[in-house]
Structure 1
């Protein structure tokens, strides 16, 4: 009935698998939990314990194949038609998490997204930026998510039918620079596949420290520009790239790129503080993207 698919990388997934297995057994359903590790070097011994659990398996890939490819590979190895994707650094908030998803399984052509939440208490200084951004921009109510159902889809907690995934899967031809989920949501929109938003969240546990968060954001902007350059994604699909494209058309990239280079040290000082400004974060991201627009198109 249900295949639960968890791509992992350098993360201990045992607690997540135990909770999911417990809920599946309580629901008395046919299920499997597949964890594929993308060439990690950490937590391998701990995660091997998963293989001793009923209807659960853990496999380590010989080399890192990237976020898109590992999700596609997981889907190909499933027994059942209903696929529940979860990131390794999540944990269900409620004990009826699986039951809620089971109630959504029917013949309708749709994807079901349950949402995400972050811890309420403020973390240590190094993780405040990612925590603040997540709470403000990602941990949205069902009502807010429904206002922009495709862009509100985060691929760390969603249910999809195998037939739909055979039509719209993750693009493996793009560099492993993030925004593969943005492209996935855009392709779903192109195919007119509905996204149903429900209140069935997981906690996102893996908060990145500031240096890692900024590195990932810079990679994300490279990935976004790559998709736009190759016309895989229209520039107006994401608000940030829509603004950058308008600046590009007005031939003002050099102004924003210069502004970005001058202000970057001050911006980074604020963003690494205990009270980072999301407005400054948006300016940093826009300036960075305009700087990319001012250069030649990104090549592979």
Structure 2
């Protein structure tokens, strides 16, 4: 029936597993819950060992770090059942009928995404950038996500048929943070996999600090450019890449790169401050993308000489 797969890194996952375990028992389904820590060597793993005392549940810690994508692939390879529910260890279950809602929607769809929400109030000023972007950009109800079904999938809180996942998997060639979902969703779109969006959200628990999110955003943009350059995504699949291609065609990339280099310190000061501006965040994203692309092309030019 259902394999619940929870990749972890330095996090107390036991409360999440307890709730999932309780709901699975209440539904009377065949299930397993697999938790895998990616070699964090965290003291929290002593708490996580309690997962092994729950029926049909296991917690293991890897001896060698394999990164988030391969951790997910590894969990999927170990799963016994037909449906895989991917959920990150820092998630919070907010519905007492969370599992039941998924079970009642399994027919006729190969992928089901329930959505994600952020807290109504930002936990602290130091986390406001990630909170704002999640709350006002990423958090969408099912009817809005369904307008672009593949682009709207996040593989935290997604059920996928195991036979379907085995055809795509996460790209283990990418080592940095970000755009795991983009790569996999694009593969699903090529295969025309049936996707259903429903309103069955989890809450995003561990929200990055402003500085942490800036670092992760840079890595994700580097990954995105690599995916595009290696033809692993289409330019029309991601709005940022579509804009980037337009900028290249209109030959204004040099101007944007220079402008970004002049104003990047001012932009970053705002983004890591107490009231980050989302418009500046979008300017930062396209500016950084143009900047790293120009540097890469410049280095290729030097080598070719």
TM-score by length of 1: 0.96
Q: CA deviation at 1:250?
A: 2.6
Query: Match of 1:177?
Result: 177
Is 1:138 the counterpart of 2:146 in the alignment? no
Report the more deviating stretch, 1-10 or 266-275. 266-275
Could you list the runs of 4 or more consecutive aligned residues of structure 1 that deviate by over 6 angstroms after TM superposition?
none
Query: Match of 1:279?
Result: 279
Give the secondary-structure state (helix, strand or coil) at the position aligned to 2:266: helix
TM-score by length of 2: 0.94
Give the secondary-structure state (helix, strand or coil) at the position aligned to 1:91: strand
Inter-partner Cα distance in structure 2 for 1:81 and 1:58: 20
CA contact (8 A) 1:67 1:176 kept: no
Q: CA deviation at 1:109?
A: 4.4
Is 1:53 the counterpart of 2:54 in the alignment? yes
Q: Deviations over 1:187-215 (max 9, x none)?
A: 00000002100010000001001111000
User: After superposition, where does 1:5-24 map in structure 2 within 5 Å?
Assistant: 5-24=5-24
Q: CA deviation at 1:239?
A: 0.7
Query: Match of 1:268?
Result: 268
Inter-partner Cα distance in structure 1 for 2:54 and 2:79: 17
CA contact (8 A) 1:9 1:40 kept: yes
Higher helix share: 2
User: After superposition, where does 1:1-300 map in structure 2 within 5 Å?
Assistant: 1-42=1-42, 43-106=44-107, 108-296=108-296
Report the more deviating stretch, 171-180 or 144-153. 171-180
Unaligned runs of 5+ in 2: 301-305
Inter-partner Cα distance in structure 2 for 1:258 and 1:119: 37
Q: Deviations over 1:151-204 (max 9, x none)?
A: 110110001111111112112223333212101000000000021000100000
Q: Deviations over 1:12-59 (max 9, x none)?
A: 101100000010111111111000111112211111111111211001
Q: Deviations over 1:231-259 (max 9, x none)?
A: 11122321111111221223322211111
CA contact (8 A) 1:248 1:293 kept: no
